[in-house]
Structure 1
Amino acid sequence: MPGRRLSPHRDDVRIALAGLLGGLLLWGAGLDTRPATEDLVLWAGRWPVLLPLTVTAGCELLRRTHPRTGLLIGGAALTLDTVTQGSLVTVVMFTDLVYAAVLYGPPATARRVLWISGLLTVLGTIVPIALWRKPEALLIGVVIGVVAFTPGATGWVVRNHRDAAEAARLRAEQTALLAEIDRVQAVTAERARMARELHDMVANHLSAIAIHSTAALSLDDPDTSQQALGVIRENSVEGLAEMRRLIGILRDSSGDTEPAAAPTLDGLGALVDHARANGLDVQLDRTHTALPAPVELAAYRIVQESLTNALKHASPGRVTVSLVQRDHALDVCVRSPFGGVRDDGPRAPGSGAGLIGMRERVALLHGTFEAGPEGGPTGGAADSGTGGTWAVRATFPITEGETA
């Protein structure tokens, strides 16, 4: 068996020494299992008793490491013991070898020992009765049952309990491992969700602040600077409010701060007006009815992030937002010009987290998402007549009956 010990277990060494010393004490006290005048005693004297005793004690060293070998040698020693005056300790140690062979041996060996010992017990009961026709003949079957079958059956019961305990331990470890995996996945999913919410709720305000503050610092025009400062203040106040609501969601119950309701597509008008106030030329076109709340939230966030990206990166021109509901799906598409040269101020840097968040939102609802140039570098020209069009497309499946 893999991983089996090569050296005897220390408990087996103790058992072997105890058996040998106990047998020597009984031998020294003259306590043999058969009298010296018995006809079956073929060897004269008491010294031959020590040979099977010593061999059986040595087999005890193999009871865990090589249980089959120990049982075979022990059986031969027990057979030898029957032609001497005999030692009770030799018989007792043999019963332990049977027990160990069933408990520590391979499953096939355990079953084989149990079947053989049971068969010997039955034969030892039936054959003597059939031959001798005496009730005393039953003692042979009883002795065989006590010496061979009983320790084997005991080892089988203990082995089953041990295997059941090991299986229960493994199931407990697997359950704990699965629970830990679920916990890690839940924490990761929650962190990703909060990252998306934080990005979507605050990034558009911070992007507007960054762009207009840069414009206010770079343009020597009091009116333009005043207008930029007004936009900066408006976005900073709204961003702070969004941040407070997000903190309320994290705390779950923050006393005076209640978590904000999830935005819906009814708020797209206000979202587009806010983008226009930040300087975007936005056209909104939508044809849809009531949708499931998760779809409305995801679609709203897709449009919000797309407008934020257009504010930061788009070339001058019109940004179109369209939402079209089909039989079992909602199509969201946001197109913005790109590739031209901006002449209305600097752009804000981007990290790419917005596209990752949009893709994750769509994947959670088993939809499809793509973002990239539309029509190639020279196709799909924007209003400015230069560059191309950047398109963000998302499709959300709608199961029948969910739109009510």
Structure 2
Amino acid sequence: MAARLPRPHRFDRYVALAGLLGGLLLWGIGLGMRPAGEPTVLWAGRWPLLLPLAVMAGCELLRRTVPRTALLTATGAIVLDLMTQGNLVTVLMYTDVMYAAVLYGSPASARRIPRITGLLTVAGTIVPFAIWRVPETLLIGAAVGVVAFAPASTGLIVRNHREAAEAARLRAEQTALLAEMDRTQAVVAERARVARELHDMVANHLSAIAIHSTAALSLDDPETSKQALGVIRENSVEGLAEMRRLIGILRDDSGDSEPAAAPTLDGLGALADTARANGLDVTVDAEHGEKLPAPVELAAYRIVQESLTNALKHAGPGRVTVTLRQLDGLLGIAVTSPYGDRDGPRAPGSGAGLIGMRERAALLGGSFEAGPEDSARGKIWAVRATLPLVDVEGVTE
């Protein structure tokens, strides 16, 4: 079954109809391009003008859908028109078909047609002049240039501008897509950062509240209940203060007030005192420089804080040791606690604390590991992290 030609574009139908009517008008009033007695006119009279005019109008219908076929057919029609008295509208429609062949044709055709018409223009200028040596023959090359080379070059220029505009549009869309991806990644990273901060700040206090409230409910001892309530109140107040600080940072967009200072390693003593008040036997051995990068200090503080929270929830009875050492551009952190079942009540854990500590170390290009180990004092749970002290500019914990 033969392939069916695409339906002509609406604009092409209007162009073809206008060209056909205009050519018929010139034909009706008897206006030709050359007199009937000219030697180049092989078919004199008015009727031969209609065939190339009709064929050219048909080519206008195909100028956009099959531009190469339209151009080849139109070239035959213009050659046929040259053998008659000629119709100006037929020539004008040929220039439009030439323009459309470059604009809507394949990339190969868009490159070749201007070159071919350019060579024909040069040949039409040089060869007739070389043969007849008459200045008027130069007009042949000029006519070829106006009818063929000029519309082909115009079509190439318009095509290049359209392709450049399309490329710019695609680049703009890609840039917008990349910007949206960056924005999404930034939102995800910020949500993860807030989740780590919220977990590290509040989990310690809530764990202490859960453990002491369970103890107060399980023991029928007024003194123990009173002590437990005191610890619960203290952790509730501190946890509320931490929550207010974080909410203040998130909501303060006026720029009128300074954000609350992030915790530093100078606060390890107070952190240990809080852990001792919650029932842990904590020993801190910290040796580090006075000026550490702020992201490193915050990450180290949060890792120690979360390790103490985990010890409060899961560690067996015994000493919890916190060790910090600075050596060769690295800050080493080690928190060890007894590994085993605890006698008292436990607080549930979700595993988010270990994930947060590992993320903090990874963001700074450091390492993190946690798990049970054998030691001189028996089975222990050890949290070890190494944080580099260089190349941390711009890192936000």
TM-score, scaled relative to structure 2? 0.92
- Mapped contact 1:101–1:109 kept (Cα < 8 A): yes
Deviation at 1:106, TM superposition (A): 2.1
Deviation at 1:259, TM superposition (A): 3.0
Query: Could you say which residue in structure 2 is the equivalent of 1:368?
Result: 367
Query: Could you say which residue in structure 2 is the equivalent of 1:398?
Result: 389
Deviation at 1:221, TM superposition (A): 0.8
Query: Could you say which residue in structure 2 is the equivalent of 1:267?
Result: 267
Query: Could you say which residue in structure 2 is the equivalent of 1:97?
Result: 97
**Alignment map for 1:165-244 (pairs within 5 Å):** 165-244=165-244
1:369 maps to a residue whose letter is: F
2:389 maps to a residue whose letter is: I
Deviation at 1:81, TM superposition (A): 1.1
- Mapped contact 2:316–2:341 kept (Cα < 8 A): yes
1:355 maps to 2:346:
no
- Mapped contact 2:19–2:57 kept (Cα < 8 A): yes
Query: Could you say which residue in structure 1 is the equivalent of 2:313?
Result: 312
Query: Could you say which residue in structure 2 is the equivalent of 1:71?
Result: 71
- Mapped contact 1:102–1:155 kept (Cα < 8 A): yes
**Alignment map for 1:8-157 (pairs within 5 Å):** 8-157=8-157
- Mapped contact 1:248–1:257 kept (Cα < 8 A): no
1:118 maps to a residue whose letter is: G
- The aligned length equals 388
- Mapped contact 2:295–2:392 kept (Cα < 8 A): no
- Mapped contact 2:293–2:392 kept (Cα < 8 A): no
**Alignment map for 1:310-349 (pairs within 5 Å):** 310-338=311-339, 340-344=340-344, 346-349=345-348
2:64 maps to a residue whose letter is: R
- Mapped contact 2:314–2:341 kept (Cα < 8 A): no
Higher mean alpha-carbon deviation, 353-362 vs 235-244, is at 353-362
Distance of 1:61 and 1:208 partners within structure 2: 84
1:299 maps to 2:300:
yes
- Mapped contact 1:245–1:257 kept (Cα < 8 A): no
Deviation at 1:280, TM superposition (A): 1.0
Distance of 2:254 and 2:82 partners within structure 1: 86
Deviation at 1:85, TM superposition (A): 2.2
Distance of 1:285 and 1:157 partners within structure 2: 76
Deviation at 1:254, TM superposition (A): 7.2
- Mapped contact 2:212–2:229 kept (Cα < 8 A): yes
- Mapped contact 1:244–1:257 kept (Cα < 8 A): no
Deviation at 1:44, TM superposition (A): 4.5
Query: 1:235-292: per-residue Cα shift (whole Å, max 9, x none)?
Result: 0111111111111101225799863211111111110111011011112122211321
Distance of 1:401 and 1:76 partners within structure 2: 74
Q: Aligned pair in 2 of structure 1 residues 203, 258: CA closer, same or farther (>3 Å)?
A: farther
Distance of 2:228 and 2:317 partners within structure 1: 18
Distance of 1:257 and 1:222 partners within structure 2: 46
Higher mean alpha-carbon deviation, 223-232 vs 321-330, is at 321-330
Q: Which SS does the other structure have where 2:262 is aligned?
A: coil
Q: Which SS does the other structure have where 1:35 is aligned?
A: coil
2:351 maps to a residue whose letter is: G
Deviation at 1:162, TM superposition (A): 1.1
Higher mean alpha-carbon deviation, 147-156 vs 59-68, is at 59-68
- Mapped contact 1:216–1:228 kept (Cα < 8 A): yes
Query: 1:103-162: per-residue Cα shift (whole Å, max 9, x none)?
Result: 122222112111111111111111222222222112111111100111111111111211
How many percent identity over aligned positions?
76
Distance of 1:76 and 1:294 partners within structure 2: 78
- Mapped contact 2:56–2:93 kept (Cα < 8 A): yes
Distance of 2:70 and 2:297 partners within structure 1: 75
- Mapped contact 1:369–1:395 kept (Cα < 8 A): yes
TM-score, scaled relative to structure 1? 0.91
2:380 maps to a residue whose letter is: T
Query: Could you say which residue in structure 2 is the equivalent of 1:158?
Result: 158
Deviation at 1:40, TM superposition (A): 2.2
Query: 1:348-379: per-residue Cα shift (whole Å, max 9, x none)?
Result: 111221112111111110111112222xxxx4
Distance of 1:347 and 1:152 partners within structure 2: 85
Distance of 2:173 and 2:215 partners within structure 1: 60
| Structure 2: runs of 5+ lacking an equivalent | none
Distance of 2:312 and 2:54 partners within structure 1: 94
- Mapped contact 1:67–1:105 kept (Cα < 8 A): yes
- Mapped contact 1:328–1:400 kept (Cα < 8 A): no
Q: Which SS does the other structure have where 1:86 is aligned?
A: coil
Deviation at 1:228, TM superposition (A): 0.5
- Mapped contact 1:246–1:259 kept (Cα < 8 A): no
- Mapped contact 2:364–2:392 kept (Cα < 8 A): no
Deviation at 1:233, TM superposition (A): 0.5
Distance of 2:50 and 2:276 partners within structure 1: 106
2:356 maps to a residue whose letter is: G
Q: Aligned pair in 2 of structure 1 residues 89, 395: CA closer, same or farther (>3 Å)?
A: same
- Mapped contact 2:315–2:341 kept (Cα < 8 A): no
Deviation at 1:400, TM superposition (A): 8.6
